[in-house]
């Protein structure tokens, strides 16, 4: 009788807890807005690529991105004077959201709290990072207790050559990738985030 009661208690407990954790990976990626190239530039894709990132990123984008772009028929050049298109990829954050809290704490500990606070509410990646940190601190980041949530925030800026010496105004977008799963490890999340970011970027030059 006691065994039946125990089994029933566990079953009821599991019923209440179901939905708290994500057992299959949930991955989504979005761009804040669409940027596109004119058809004549797509015929002659000579590109100068610059890839940068912050210490808050675990992604390695440069080499796999170059390979993906080559497969799209892009010719990469080292000298911007030879390029028709200039593409700057800057990873603001890519890691477990729990690391965002540490990142924020370490920055504030390093004496730049004022700078970070200034970023809050302004057009900067810092505001998102701070927001993430605040969300975590308040315990309301989605599935914060049960799941591991990884997020990548990558800025993309593109310029095209208008004549031999001058470039167009910068066109910008931001790529957001999120991977959520119970127990998801960084070595599993990293290639997933990289694949999604590279896919989004290379599609611009498709």
Partner 1 sequence: MLHHTKLALLGMGATLLLSGCTSKIHSCIYTDGFPKGDKDHTAIFVNAKESWRSPSAGYNVKTRETHLLQNMADATLHHSYKYFAIVHPNNKVNNKTGSLINTPDGFLNACTPTGANPFTIFNSPCGYSSEAAMSSAVIYVYRERPYDILTYDAQEVKDYLIKNDSWRSDGIEEYREVCEVKK
- State which residue, 108 or 135, has the beta carbon closest to partner 1: 135
Residue ranges in the chain assigned as alpha helix (H): 2-17, 39-43, 62-71, 97-107, 113-119, 125-137, 186-204
37 forms beta bridges with none
CB of 117 to partner 1, least distance (A): 10
- State which residue, 160 or 173, has the beta carbon closest to partner 1: 173
Mapping DSSP to helix (H, G, I), strand (E, B) and coil, where does residue 163 land? Answer: coil
CB of 147 to partner 1, least distance (A): 12
Q: How far is 14 from 113, CA to CA, in rounded Å?
A: 43
- 138-141 long-range contacts, Cβ below 8 Å, gap at least 24? 141/97
CB of 33 to partner 1, least distance (A): 4
- State which residue, 18 or 71, has the beta carbon closest to partner 1: 18
- State which residue, 2 or 122, has the beta carbon closest to partner 1: 122
CB of 151 to partner 1, least distance (A): 6
Q: What is the DSSP letter of 56?
A: T
Query: Could you give the angle at the alpha carbon of 62 between the alpha carbons of 61 and 67, nearest 5°?
Result: 100
Question: Which residues of the shown chain bind partner 1 in the complex (CB under 8 A)?
Answer: 16, 28-30, 32-33, 120-125, 127-128, 131-132, 134-135, 138, 140-142, 151, 153, 155, 172-174, 176, 178
- State which residue, 60 or 157, has the beta carbon closest to partner 1: 157
CB of 93 to partner 1, least distance (A): 9
Do the beta carbons of residue 183 and residue 24 sit within 8 Å?
no
């Amino acid at each position: 009788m006691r065994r039946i009661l125990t089994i029933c208690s566990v079953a009821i407990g599991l019923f209440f807890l179901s939905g708290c954790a994500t057992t299959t990976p949930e991955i989504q990626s979005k761009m804040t807005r669409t940027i596109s190239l004119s058809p004549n530039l797509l015929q002659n894709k000579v590109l100068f690529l610059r890839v940068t990132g912050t210490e808050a990123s675990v992604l390695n984008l440069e080499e796999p991105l170059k390979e993906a772009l080559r497969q799209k028929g892009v010719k990469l050049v080292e000298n911007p004077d030879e390029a028709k298109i200039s593409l700057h990829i800057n990873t603001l954050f890519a890691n477990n959201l729990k690391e965002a809290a540490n990142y924020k704490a370490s920055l504030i500990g390093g004496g730049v709290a004022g700078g970070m606070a200034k970023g809050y509410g302004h057009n900067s990646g810092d505001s998102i990072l701070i927001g993430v940190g605040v969300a975590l601190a308040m315990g309301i980041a989605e599935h914060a207790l049960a799941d591991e949530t990884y997020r990548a925030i990558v800025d993309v800026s593109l310029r095209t050559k208008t004549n031999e010496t001058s470039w167009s105004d910068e066109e910008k977008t931001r790529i957001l990738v999120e991977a959520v799963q119970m127990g998801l490890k960084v070595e599993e999340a990293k290639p997933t985030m990289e694949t999604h970011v590279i896919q989004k970027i290379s599609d611009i030059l498709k």
